[in-house]
Structure 1
Amino acid sequence: MKIDTHPQYADVNVKCSCGNEFTTRSTRGGAISLELCNECHPFFTGKQKLVDTGGRVERFNKRYGARTNAPARPE
């Protein structure tokens, strides 16, 4: 077998902009700064909201929502 085929792991300190800090392991080492983590991301905190850009959903429903199945083709 080859010697030293696996990378060396080091402890990494991760700090989020919300102030949350935790330690993980990585081959890169050093420190990592994050903008979002599981403590402040809207999906994980339950503060997620649906954003409708310019009434696109209403426009789609107006255009295609009233359609029914296509009529049967005569044979």
Structure 2
Amino acid sequence: MKQDIHPEYHEISVIMTDGTEFKTRSTMGKPGDVLRLDIDPKSHPAWTGVHRLMDTGGQLAKFNKRFANFGSKK
């Protein structure tokens, strides 16, 4: 193995979306840094099976307004 080409591997803290914290080893940042997760296995629909619609920038509202009467007969 070549010397001095590998990043430093050290311990960091990871904080989940619900506030729980655990320590792991990583090459991210400096020793003792904190990684805060926006999405984790406890809250992501791929793992929980619960899908939530999130309206970012009004896209969902725009879609609902555009297709509000779709399929309804007058």
For residue 47 of structure 1, what is the aligned residue in structure 2? 50
For residue 14 of structure 2, what is the aligned residue in structure 1? 14
Identity %: 35
CA contact (8 A) 1:14 1:22 kept: yes
Runs of 4+ in 1 over 4 A off after TM superposition: 49-52
Compared CA separation, residues 49 and 3, structure 1 to 2 (3 A):
closer
Compared CA separation, residues 8 and 48, structure 1 to 2 (3 A):
same
1:47, distance to aligned residue in structure 2 (A): 0.7
Compared CA separation, residues 20 and 36, structure 1 to 2 (3 A):
farther
Larger Rg: 1
Q: Note the residue ranges of structure 2 that are not aligned, 5 or more in a row.
A: 55-59
Aligned residues: 58
What is the letter of the counterpart of residue 36 of structure 1?
Answer: I
TM normalised by structure 2 equals 0.54
* Superposed CA RMSD: 3.0
